[in-house]
Chains A and B, each alone.
Chain A
């Protein structure tokens, strides 16, 4: 069974631009979560989608948004990029509830650099 895939793997943008990241979960998994990881803040939860609905959201500004499609694939969008948005963005999928007790399977991440 293929793992979680994320595209692109690397991205360079300039301040003010917007970016869209894509995540394909493991086949059969319905929950997709997004995380931002920076050296200073560690792994921080962005939001979680289940059956095309955002179920939970972390403490990030409205510039960060996402969506999930009927095939469970998910996209994350960041508008008006800031230097501080440079980070590794990770996507994780889980089978059903997506709860903190359920095993999550992470993708390789997308490394975003904002110049």
Chain B
């Protein structure tokens, strides 16, 4: 599995756009990039997934450069309720080997300041 590196924590003010970058230098050809959000005492929740260029849904955008060695989760106009831990994962959705010792890592703890 491709190893990912994210900042441990970030702070931002309400209403601002927040960008969280994840490095995955050894991403494989068939790997996709997936981001999850986790609130305290809850299970992680899927936010967005992409393979290349840009993906946008109702809650976030995911920017992936051509070399795919990094990705950036963009949260527009954050609010206090966006305070959570954000995890970046890479993997091949077509793999038949299941979750090979999957680890979410430490993620990025985002704190939104009023």
Contact = CB atoms under 8 A, between A and B. Distances in A.
Interface of A: 4, 31, 33, 35, 42-45, 48, 50, 55-59, 88, 90-92, 97-109, 111
Nearest to B33: A101
Contacts, number: 103
Given A101-B31, A101-B93, A102-B93, A59 B43 contact: no
* Chain B interface bracket (under 10, 10 to 19, 20 to 34, 35 or more): 20 to 34
B90 interface: yes
B45 interface: yes
A106 B96 CA distance: 20
B94 A99 contact: yes
Interface of B: 1, 30-32, 34, 41-46, 49, 87, 89-107
A88 to B, nearest CB: 7
Given A42-B107, A43-B103, A88-B41, A103 B94 contact: no
Contacts of B49: 101, 103
A92 B104 CA distance: 13
A104 B34 CA distance: 10
Contact of B92 (A33, A100, A104): A100
A80 B45 CA distance: 32
Contact of B44 (A43, A50, A58, A97): A43
Given A92-B43, A109-B41, A99 B95 contact: yes
Nearest to A49: B98
